[in-house]
Amino acid sequence: MKIIATQKYFRMTPRKLRLVASIAKKMEPEEAIAKLPFLKKRAKEPIIKVIKTALANGKVKGFTPDQLEFDEIQICEGPRLKRGRAVSRGRWHPYQRKMSHIRIVLKTKEGSDKKTGKQKKTVGTEKVVKEKTKKISLDQISKLRSNKGEGKQKADKEIAKGQQKTARETIKDRKSVRTTHK
């Protein structure tokens, strides 16, 4: 099933939006919402809004965000506003204000069940079992990092092994660890 969200007549050039869209297309929708705010591009904001709208549309149809993936992200040209700037000797330099249409299509992942949200068992494949990740508290990490050399390596290994956090949470953790050791 396909879920569509659009934003028309957005006042930004398609080229700027396509740079961010190409990055977002390689990710899962939830991952894109978590990571795109850290880009240094102004075009991230409208794309994040349209992705959120598409996920909300999917939720209305009974899908969870982890069941959905990007099918396509289209950035099309909209109409152009013709403008000009007065220059010396009574002349006129024309320029154009470009608009864009953003269209995001999400599709359900293959084998996902709408009602339960779990993976269906298909012929010739085994059930997908989610691995439980080991979570470590911030206090344990700071204790391991306070030791010189060996403890820091252990902490980094533990972080790499067990913790799956969004980009925002990891930055908050790093800031709090830095402030406690100064």
* pLDDT tens readout for residues 124-170: 444 443 343 445 666 666 665 565 556 556 666 666 665 555 555 66
**177 close to 142: Cβ distance less than 8 angstroms:** yes
Please report, for the chain, the start and end positions of each structural domain, with discontinuous segments joined by +: 2-108, 138-181
What's the pLDDT at 110?
82
57: left (phi over 0), alpha (psi -120 to 50) or beta: alpha
Query: Which CATH superfamily hosts domain 2-108?
Result: Ribosomal protein L22/L17 (3.90.470.10)
What's the pLDDT at 135?
54
- From residue 62, alpha-carbon distances to 3, 115, 120, 148 in Å are 11, 7, 16, 51
3-state DSSP of the chain: CEEEEEEEEECCCHHHHHHHHHHHHCCCHHHHHHHHHHCCCCCHHHHHHHHHHHHHHHHHCCCCHHHEEEEEEEEEEEEEEEEEEEEHHHEEEEEEEEEEEEEEEEEECCCECCCCCCECCCCCCCCCCCCCCCCCCHHHHHHHHHCCCHHHHHHHHHHHHHCCCCHHHHHHHHHHHHHHHC
- From residue 59, alpha-carbon distances to 2, 30, 65 in Å are 12, 13, 7
What's the pLDDT at 123?
47
Sites in the chain below the pLDDT cut of 50: 121-134, 182
What's the pLDDT at 163?
53
What's the pLDDT at 159?
62
Strand partners for 106: 3, 70
What's the maximum distance between 2 C-alpha atoms anywhere in the chain? 78
Distance CA 180, CA 118 (A): 42
Q: Note the pTM of the prediction, 2 decimals.
A: 0.61
What's the pLDDT at 172?
62
